[in-house]
Amino acid sequence: MAKESEIINPDSGVDIVIIDIECTCDDAKNLPRSEMEIIEIGAVFGRLTDVSFVLVDEVQIYVRPVIHAKLTQFCISLTGITQDVVDTASPLSEGLKRFAGRISSNSPRVWGSWGNFDLRQFEKESLSKNITNPLVALPHVNIKQLYARKRGHRVGLARAIRLSGLVFQGRHHSGLDDARNIAQLLEVDGVLMEC
């Protein structure tokens, strides 16, 4: 497997997709982590150079959960995703087909997320539901880890935005808004370019 420094080469620019997912959740511990399901895929596709992150495309796909079809009040409050949104959404198999189409049309060379949760959830849920994972052939970059290496400590996304002198755009825990804010960090903070 290629090292992150070999994947991210700002001299040639990098086609990257930044992904943030939201999943079913509960603060009362009534929903085990093993039963969490993707309910939103937010992604921004861009070109990373040594001076900018140029947005090329973005997508927001809502997904209907099947194990715990009814969202908890905690999940609704945290993500802003309502029950009617997931009730009318496609199942994960259809959502991932749509997402695979966007990946194919944009041809990213790498994908990144804030931490490894998204990577593990895609792998786990694709396997358990016998669905093709559209990210399996792309190297993954843990942007949270790169940020921690640069700054010397691990922080959440909202705090990283503040520490970088930025303003969080949109709603925290919206997959698409979180992906957009990670892209903001790449451009302004140069996380990938200096690690």
Look at residues 183, 189, 145 and name the one whose alpha carbon lies nearest to residue 165.
Answer: 189
**Could you give the CA distance from residue 102 to residue 32 in angstroms, rounded to a whole number?**
31
68 catalytically annotated: no
Instruction: Catalytic residue, from 22, 37, 40, 125: name it.
Output: 22
Instruction: Catalytic residue, from 4, 140, 173, 187: name it.
Output: 173
**Could you give the CA distance from residue 182 to residue 130 in angstroms, rounded to a whole number?**
30
Look at residues 4, 24, 26 and name the one whose alpha carbon lies nearest to residue 16.
Answer: 4
173 catalytically annotated: yes
Active-site positions read: 22, 173
